[in-house]
Amino acid sequence: MRLSMLRAMTMREKILQIAQRLEKRFGKLRWRSHGDPLDVLILTILSQNTNDQNRDRAYESLKKKFPTYESIVRAPTARVAEAIKVGGLHRQKAKRIQEILKRIKRERGDYDLSYLKDLSTDAAVEELLKFEGVGKKTAGVVLTFSLNKPYFPVDTHIHRITQRLGLVKQSQDPHDVMNELVPDRLKYQLHLHLIWHGRQTCKARKPLCEQCVIADLCPYPKRSRRSTS
């Protein structure tokens, strides 16, 4: 997908304005590693369709009951599922995690994704997308938070905000659009800033538009007023 030059330039300028204001609101961030890429992959799978607290509880329970990747693979799927039950969709996630671990061991000879560091961003994304149940968001989180590769994952908050801002249309893939628009140097920081903005201000049901630092860049408050008038 390629945006027209005129539209792309306008959108990029808007992105820069948004990034600048959110940086002033939340502060400048320096990248830090969130862990080994395989650990981050499993943690991200556990985060699907649940909140951060339940994700972390599920991950801690999994590591406590199965301290090695090999022990996860060798365990009955039902026992793995029970360990991560607090995170929801536990049977589906348990099966998915075991299958991913088995494939990595079969293809790489060990439970290790560190080889992704040596690949280009596009190639690393493709490697991760070959695993069942791993989409662009999950792949992007591994690249962004473990490998410091320039990728912009789009979660629920970011998808909502970018649609309200008019950056992404409903018919478009938000990952394709935002990875083209957001400069590499801003991807990590803007990703986190937009999530915080979505949790605190641009909420799903009752956005606090009057408190929003980017409200004048967003058509959503005007649309909302028209719909209620």
Token pair of 47 as six digits: 């985060």
What pLDDT score was predicted for residue 202? 97
Position 229 scores a pLDDT of: 41
DSSP letters of 82-135? HHTGGGSSHHHHHHHHHHHHHHHHHHHSSS--GGGGGS-HHHHHHHHHTSTT--
Q: What is the pLDDT of residues 59-91, one digit of tens each?
A: 999 999 999 999 999 999 999 999 999 999 999
- Ranges of residues in the chain with a pLDDT under 70 are 1-9, 221-229
- Domains of the chain, earliest start first: 5-30+152-221 (1.10.1670.10), 37-146 (1.10.340.30)
Sign of CA dihedral 63, 66, 70, 75: negative
pTM of the prediction?
0.89
- Identify the pLDDT of residue 9: 54
Determine the pLDDT at residue 10. Answer: 86
